[in-house]
Amino acid sequence: MADQAVPPKAEVVKNATNLRELSLSGHVGFDSLPEQLVNKSITQGFAFNILCVGETGLGKSTLMDTLFNTQFDSTPSTHFIREVGVKAHTYDLQESSVRLKLTVVDSVGFADQINKDNSVAPIVEYIDKQYEAYLQSLDLVTMKKLDSKVNIIPVVAKSDTITKAELQRFKAKIMSELAQNGVQIYYFPTDDETVSSLNQDMNGHLPFAVVGSTDEVKVGNKMMKARQYPWGTVQVENENHCDFVKLREMLLRTNMQDLIDTTHKKHYELYRRVRLSDMGFTDSDGKTLQETYELKREAHVSEMQSKEEEMRQMFVQRVKEKETELKEAERELHNKFDSLKRQHADDRKRLEDSKKQLEMEMTEFQKKKAFADQQHSSSTTTLSKHKKGK
């Protein structure tokens, strides 16, 4: 969880060695904060939000200018706005070396309507949205995404920056927010009788308020890890100062094996079931992973065989169709060949008939020619004889 940088109130701080009360000689205020927090605040600056609600023309802008001794940019509003609006303006101010990021939230059109019953509703809605935005912080979002994967133990860091009373209220607020947002944190187990009472008591201390330090300070005759402040010393391993010892005891000595077992049996098993479910496996039917795998493999083999048979039937059907097409083409070729053969025979017969006819005509022609030659020869002989007789 994020730490809260709230200025501490004056408290009595006791020295671990002689339980001597530390008397404060002067005012305990901003200057009593740890030096590193002071430097950090001055370097980063402060952030302050102020909501100013009032009727139009009442002097809200003038009041803000007077409060912060500056002239803010503001546009006067009319009295004819139908709905109440909320506008936020952020300004960067600086006095001496201290910077302030100021957000002024102004109510526009407040109480300018005839029916003023709903004038406050937009303002309440705006405040609720700001609280909700704070509630849904990075810590909550992160824990909500991680609580199903790891063991979450909430811790308040730098717990020495707030008083004990404020710390208890802050712890209660954290646990309330975690419960309201459905974040499942890790509670120390109470089913083992040997640690049941201790773990139950430690669950009541969640979230642990811790202080960390690598610096060693001499307390009495011992060197201890501690943080040294102008108002006293915070000992890391002193249970009156923080919960570091409780956290270490719970993590490393009492519940380490349960943390390991919970990670494996709960978080890893949940992850495994989700991943197997995404892959088509499930443990919900009571079967082991091997049995589920075998069933899945058999179903896969059966499906592949079914697809193979379907492809074989399709192949056979295509072959039959192709054979039918080839046979039909062969039949057509045979018919065409027979047709050509008959046509060839007919053409050959016609040629032979034509040849015979031509031979007969040639024979007849030869006969006629021979007869004509004979007649011509006979006529020539007769004519010759007649000339000689003259």
Both tokens assigned to 230: 């102008």
Q: Residues 322, 323, 328, CA angle at the centre, nearest 5°?
A: 100
Can you point out the beta strands (E) in 19-62?
46-52
Q: Cα(299)–Cα(293) distance, rounded to whole angstroms? A: 10
Tell me, which fold does domain 116-284 have in CATH? Rossmann fold (3.40.50)
Both tokens assigned to 64: 């803000």
Q: Report yes or no: 89 and 120 within 8 Å, Cβ to Cβ.
A: no
Both tokens assigned to 59: 């002097």
Please name the residues in contact with 375: beta carbons below 8 A apart, sequence gap of 6 or more.
none
Q: Where do the structural domains in the chain lie, given as residue ranges?
A: 43-113, 116-284, 288-350
Q: Which of 51, 56, 59 is nearest to 77 (CA)?
A: 56
- pLDDT (tens, 9 = 90+) of the chain, 390 residues, equals 333 333 333 333 333 344 444 444 444 444 444 555 556 666 666 777 777 776 666 666 777 777 766 676 766 655 555 666 677 777 777 777 777 777 777 777 665 655 556 677 777 777 777 766 665 575 777 888 888 888 888 888 878 777 788 888 888 888 888 888 888 888 988 888 888 888 888 988 888 888 888 788 887 788 888 887 777 788 888 888 888 888 888 888 888 888 888 888 888 888 877 777 776 666 555 666 667 777 778 888 888 999 999 999 999 999 999 999 999 999 999 999 989 999 998 888 989 888 888 988 898 888 888 888 888 887 777 767 666 655
Both tokens assigned to 70: 């500056």
Which pTM was predicted? 0.44
